[in-house]
């Protein structure tokens, strides 16, 4: 991979509030281009650098370990929850939206 390719990719990640261009690029690549909450495929159109612990509740905007690759939908739904709190919400929503019968159908179809 040449430097021109890396530079052009980095330019695409320059408009993220909570991450530098290089941090946003690293988050995107380290997450294998998947949202760390719902595992949706990330694109340059839906990728957002999110904070695990929101700045509004004391989270660091500087600490890279507090940064998460997220899709825009999950980032908006998460609000000021931590990653762990948001996973609890996602699980509750999943249980509410899928009866046990539907869940078995989903599992069966996936295999």
pLDDT at position 32 is 93
Tokens found for residue 100: 């046990």
pTM score, whole prediction: 0.68
pLDDT at position 100 is 55
**What single string gives the DSSP state of each residue in 5-42?**
HHHHHHHTT---TTS-HHHHHHHHHHTTTB-TTT-PBP
pLDDT at position 16 is 60
Q: How confident is the prediction along the chain (111 residues), in pLDDT tens digits per residue?
A: 333 333 334 455 555 666 788 888 899 999 999 999 988 999 888 899 999 998 888 989 889 999 999 999 999 999 899 888 998 888 887 777 665 555 555 555 444
Tell me which CATH code domain 3-110 carries.
Answer: 1.10.30
Closest CA to 90 of 26, 20, 39, 22: 39
Where in the chain are the domains? 3-110
pLDDT at position 22 is 85
Q: What contacts 24+ positions apart, CB below 8 Å, involve 39-47?
A: 40/71, 40/73, 40/74, 42/69, 42/71, 44/12, 46/71, 46/72, 46/73, 47/71, 47/72
pLDDT at position 1 is 37
């Amino acid at each position: 991979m040449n430097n021109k390719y890396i530079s052009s990719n980095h330019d695409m990640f320059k408009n993220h509030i909570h991450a530098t261009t290089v941090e946003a690029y690293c988050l995107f690549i380290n997450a294998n281009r998947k949202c760390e909450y719902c595992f949706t495929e990330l694109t340059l159109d839906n990728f957002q650098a999110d904070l695990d612990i929101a700045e509004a509740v004391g989270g660091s905007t500087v600490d890279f370990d507090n940064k998460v690759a997220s899709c825009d939908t999950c980032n908006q739904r998460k609000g000021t929850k931590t990653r762990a709190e948001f996973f609890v919400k996602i699980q509750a929503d999943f249980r509410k939206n899928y009866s046990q019968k539907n869940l078995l159908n989903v599992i069966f179809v996936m295999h």
